[in-house]
Amino acid sequence: MPRSGVLAALALVLASCSHGPRTPAPTDRPYVLVLGTAQDAGFPQIGANHARARAARADPTQIRRVASLLVVDPRTHRRWLIDATPDLPLQVEAARGHPAGRAPGPGRPPLFEGIFLTHAHMGHYAGLLHLGREAYAARGQPVHGSARMTAFLETQAPWELLVRLGHITLHTLEPDRDVELASQLTITPILVPHRAEYTDTLGFIVRGPSQSLLYIPDIDKWHQWERRLEDVLATVDHALIDGTFYADGEIPGRSMKDIPHPFIAETMARLASASADLRAKVRFTHLNHTNPAADPGGSAQKAIEAAGFSVARDGDVFGL
């Protein structure tokens, strides 16, 4: 395909899968831009041939990129990424113009002021490979993770080559310790229970001058967490939380005990007696390709909305 055709196709994909933000990005205060809302393998997923997958391939507006957030500060023209997904090239393009007036330096400057990683499962750090010499060849891109995460990247191939060649520089996060991004803008890592084959798992709370956002794309079950979900939700204004699966039995031929997540149905039942204001904070993200909540306007989404919750979309914007 000629280069002009490739660019045209890329523009179509970006336009179709972002769906457009529900609200315009603020120009005078920090905000969060949702760059993706799908489970690690994306939506539609490789090899899937069910009705939802076929519909998404036929209608690009139903495509979801892998779950990721962009924290943006228009005041300083800076930005930070939460999770480097397999869709990083498309997400860098979706982040273009955020914030307006951002002018990166010459050569191969860092694409973000920092990349914050939740854990070492495929959809959350595999995009780091695009920063290596085979692709962008970044120079000194700051990458933040837990002590286990940074040790893993520093010692295990192929990630250690990114460190050794200076494509990324590692910074270790301490749970519950704020990291100041800019004036009145912080990010706080919080430990959550999740399959720890290589690293532990973090969620993040991003706090701006006037509002805050909780981000937990992966957790095993809410009752396994040392914190009460309700208590944490009470401290924030917005929450993007694990909505990987809608209900038990969603994946034929596999035991869902091997891939524990809080089902959306479980989370809604748990929060059913909470106030309407608290439930309205919750948006489900990290949707697996089998999840009926991924259907725009489908019965699952309607049930979620009727219960006072919502489903996150690529391109959503949350002012901070």
Q: Cis ω on the peptide bond leading into residue 142 (within 30° of 0)? A: no
Q: Cis ω on the peptide bond leading into residue 60 (within 30° of 0)? A: no
- Strands 282-285 vs 238-242: parallel, antiparallel or unpaired: parallel
pLDDT at 7: 38
- CB atoms under 10 Å from CB of 62, counted, come to 19
Q: What is the dihedral of CA 244, 248, 254, 256, to 10 degrees?
A: 60
Domain at 21-319, CATH from 3.30.70.20, 3.40.50.1100, 3.30.1180.20, 3.60.15.10: 3.60.15.10
Q: Is 133 helix (H, G, I), strand (E, B) or coil?
A: coil
Whole-number Å distance between alpha carbons of 299 and 296: 9
Whole-number Å distance between alpha carbons of 83 and 164: 21
pTM for this prediction: 0.93
Cα–Cα distances in angstroms (integers) from residue 158 to residues 29, 41, 184, in the given order: 38, 20, 37
Q: Is 267 helix (H, G, I), strand (E, B) or coil?
A: helix
Contacts of 266 (CB under 8 A, 6+ apart): 221, 222
Question: CA 71: distance to chain centroid?
Answer: 11
- Strands 317-319 vs 310-311: parallel, antiparallel or unpaired: unpaired
pLDDT at 6: 38
What's the token pair of residue 75?
A: 């005041």
pLDDT at 5: 43
Count of helices and strands (H, E) across the chain: 10, 14
Cα–Cα distances in angstroms (integers) from residue 167 to residues 105, 142, 199, in the given order: 16, 9, 21
176-194: string of b/e by CB count within 10 Å (b at 16+)? eeebebbeebbbbbbebbb
> Residue 191: what residue type?
L
State the residue for tokens 């300083």.
76
Q: Is 44 left (phi over 0), alpha (psi -120 to 50) or beta?
A: beta
* Local confidence pLDDT in tens for the 320 residues of the chain: 444 443 344 444 454 444 444 689 999 999 999 999 999 999 999 999 998 899 999 999 899 999 999 999 999 999 999 999 999 999 999 999 999 988 877 888 899 999 999 999 999 999 999 999 999 999 999 999 999 999 999 999 999 999 999 999 999 999 999 999 999 999 999 999 999 999 999 999 999 999 999 999 999 999 999 999 999 999 999 999 999 999 988 887 777 777 889 999 999 999 999 999 999 999 999 999 999 999 988 999 999 999 999 999 999 999 99
Looking from the CA of 167 toward its CB, the CA atoms found within 13 Å total 21
Give the H or E element holding residue 161.
Answer: helix 159-164
State the residue for tokens 């520089």.
169
Cα–Cα distances in angstroms (integers) from residue 256 to residues 44, 57, 67, 120, 246, in the given order: 20, 26, 20, 20, 12
- Strands 317-319 vs 31-36: parallel, antiparallel or unpaired: antiparallel
First-last CA distance in the chain: 42
pLDDT at 175: 98
